[in-house]
């Protein structure tokens, strides 16, 4: 009987530890901003999804391109039809790794290096960025910002509107993670 009890306790303990090493976020905020003399363009989404494996540091982040909202409806239409070609490339994705080791069980603020592959418009490109992580009572909040060169991802800007769209866009991400149950 004692062996059965210890076996069950071991299985439950391993299951709890394993569950705590996977963190998920289903409502990540992703935005991008492009500023030129002619016009500022900003798109925002609040439905990005992400998973972090705290043991390995692996991170996956994905957002549907059609989820971005703009102040002007015409901007949203041009973004999806002309630039992102959202029917052909429905989502953008980052697969990478948190390079700076941290204790996800310990409350605190951490600056970490993240590197990985960003896929936008069907084109993969390596990126490195610094992220701010805050661990507080089992919740992880991550914030990061980085610049993306539009041409690096095969997004063509027609010469007619070239002055309206910056060569680089500032991408910002904010996500709150909880342990997978």
148-179 pLDDT per residue, tens: 998 899 988 766 555 667 789 999 999 999 99
Would 167 be classed as within a structural domain?
yes
Note whether residue 15 is domain-resident: no
pLDDT tens digit sequence for 121-150: 999 999 999 999 999 999 999 999 999 998
**Burial per residue of 144-169, b for 16 or more beta-carbon CB atoms within 10 angstroms, e otherwise:** bbbebebeebebebeeeeeebbbeeb
Question: For residue 123, what is the domain's CATH number?
Answer: 2.40.128.110
Does the residue 11 lie in any domain? Answer: no
How many domains, in total, are found in the chain?
1
Alpha helices in 48-138, H assignment, sequence order: 73-78
Of 6-10, 18-22, 162-166, the range with the lowest mean pLDDT is 6-10
Q: 143 and 131 in contact (C-beta within 8 Å)?
A: yes
Instruction: Give the pLDDT confidence score for residue 115 in this predicted structure.
Output: 97
The answer to whether residue 148 sits within a structural domain is yes
Tokens encoding 80:
């999806």
- Asked whether the predicted pLDDT for residue 6 surpasses 80, the reply is no
Within-domain flag for 4: no
Residue 37, domain member (yes or no): yes
Residue 134's domain spans which residues? 22-179
Does residue 14 sit within a domain? no
Q: How confident is the model at residue 91, as a pLDDT?
A: 97
Query: What pLDDT, on the 0 to 100 scale, is given for residue 36?
Result: 75
Whether residue 13 lies inside any domain: the answer is no
């Amino acid at each position: 009987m004692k062996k059965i009890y210890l076996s069950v306790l071991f299985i439950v303990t391993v299951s709890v530890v394993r569950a705590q090493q996977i963190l998920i976020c289903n409502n990540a905020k992703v935005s991008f901003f492009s500023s030129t003399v002619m016009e500022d363009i900003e798109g925002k989404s609040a439905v990005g999804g992400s998973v972090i494996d705290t043991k390995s540091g692996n991170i996956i982040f994905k957002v549907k391109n059609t989820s971005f909202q703009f102040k002007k409806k015409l901007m949203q239409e041009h973004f999806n039809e002309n630039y992102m070609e959202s029917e052909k490339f429905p989502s953008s994705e980052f697969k990478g790794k948190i390079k700076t080791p941290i204790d996800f069980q310990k409350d605190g603020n951490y600056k970490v290096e993240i590197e990985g592959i960003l896929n936008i418009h069907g084109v993969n490109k390596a990126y490195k960025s610094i992220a701010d992580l805050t661990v507080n009572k089992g919740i992880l909040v991550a914030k990061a910002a980085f610049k993306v060169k539009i041409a690096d991802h095969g997004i063509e800007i027609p010469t007619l509107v070239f002055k309206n769209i910056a060569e680089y866009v500032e991408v910002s991400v904010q996500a709150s993670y909880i342990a997978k149950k």
